[in-house]
Amino acid sequence: MQRKQLRAQTDRLKFNGHDLSAFVSCKVNRPIMPPVDATFESVSGRDGEVFKSAHFGGYDLPVDVWLRSDDRRDAAEVRHALAQMLYATEPAPLYLPDDPTRYLLAIVSGDTDLGEITDNSPSTTITFHVGDPFYYGRHRRMDVSAGTFAINAGGNRPTHLKITAKPASSAAWYVQNVDTGEQVRISSGVTSSSTVRVDMAQEHATVNNNLAAVTLDSDFFTVERRTRLHLSSGTAVLEWWERWL
């Protein structure tokens, strides 16, 4: 199969570890930001409405594609190759052409007509559904010791930590967001040979790979920009992904 040379670096589209631009050129039709779901309610005896809440929603992201070949007989080969690249059983990283250092978590949604790919017109549209409205940037890692310290989360949206800790005593282990007072505290005692893992996104903790209960006043928290944390004892490795709007 003879393919045209890539037009430009900004033409690259990568999904779930596959470079689709090896087979097709693309045009991404995406919004400036995710849709905002704002809710209001009417109040009896008053004009207008009262604001209740607002949050970002999921959305569909259509991508128009062109075959990178002058020979339309290549279309069958492209269909099979793209089908293998596009199929995923759960949302996967999607890198868009104009933002190659950050990705969305997306999955192909609805019908995908790969039967009429041509080189001169956007005859086929692949639709990705983006449920998580934020972009993910660099993977960050930080080694810390007991006491109070600060981290720079990066990005411009809150993100969740994964913590792997080695306590130094048998006292109840905890990590606290000093700025908000939120904390995660293991209910049972630990030893210096224990390994504590906390996943803030999944809201669970383990000790030596066994599910561990946390205290009633525990609250799995996020971090944003510069955040001060306190580690009760021992050492820990913090990991997270930058998140961007």
Least confident of 31-35, 75-79, 135-139: 75-79
Q: Which fold has domain 137-244?
A: Jelly Rolls (2.60.120)
Rounded Cα distance between 206 and 36, Å, is: 36
Q: Which fold has domain 9-133?
A: Elongation Factor Tu (Ef-tu); domain 3 (2.40.30)
What the block records as the tokens of 94 is 């999607």
Q: What are phi and psi of 76, to 5 degrees?
A: -60, -45
Q: Name the residue among 145, 143, 192 with its Cα closest to residue 171.
A: 192
**141 in Cβ contact with 182 (< 8 Å):** no
* Confidence at residue 68, expressed as pLDDT on a 0 to 100 scale: 72
What the block records as the tokens of 107 is 């999955």
End-to-end CA distance of the chain: 39
Per-residue model confidence as pLDDT tens digits over 100-127: 899 999 999 876 666 555 545 546 788 9
* Confidence at residue 90, expressed as pLDDT on a 0 to 100 scale: 94
Per-residue model confidence as pLDDT tens digits over 55-75: 889 999 988 887 776 666 667
Cβ-based burial of 159 (10 A; exposed 0-12, middle 13-18, buried ≥19): buried
Work out the average pLDDT over 121-138: 84
Instruction: Name the more confident of 11 and 40.
Output: 40
pLDDT band at 7 (very low <50, low <70, confident <90, very high): very low
Rounded Cα distance between 156 and 135, Å, is: 10
**11 in Cβ contact with 24 (< 8 Å):** no
What the block records as the tokens of 22 is 């090896």
* Confidence at residue 206, expressed as pLDDT on a 0 to 100 scale: 94
Inter-CA distances, 226 with 68, 86, 139, 178, Å: 45, 37, 16, 11
Range picked from 123-127, 138-142, 165-169 for highest mean pLDDT: 138-142
**231 in Cβ contact with 175 (< 8 Å):** yes
pLDDT band at 151 (very low <50, low <70, confident <90, very high): very high
What the block records as the tokens of 29 is 């039709």
Mean of the per-residue pLDDT values of the chain: 86
Is the pLDDT at 51 greater than 70, yes or no?
yes
* Confidence at residue 191, expressed as pLDDT on a 0 to 100 scale: 87
* Confidence at residue 71, expressed as pLDDT on a 0 to 100 scale: 63
- The domain ranges of the chain are 9-133, 137-244
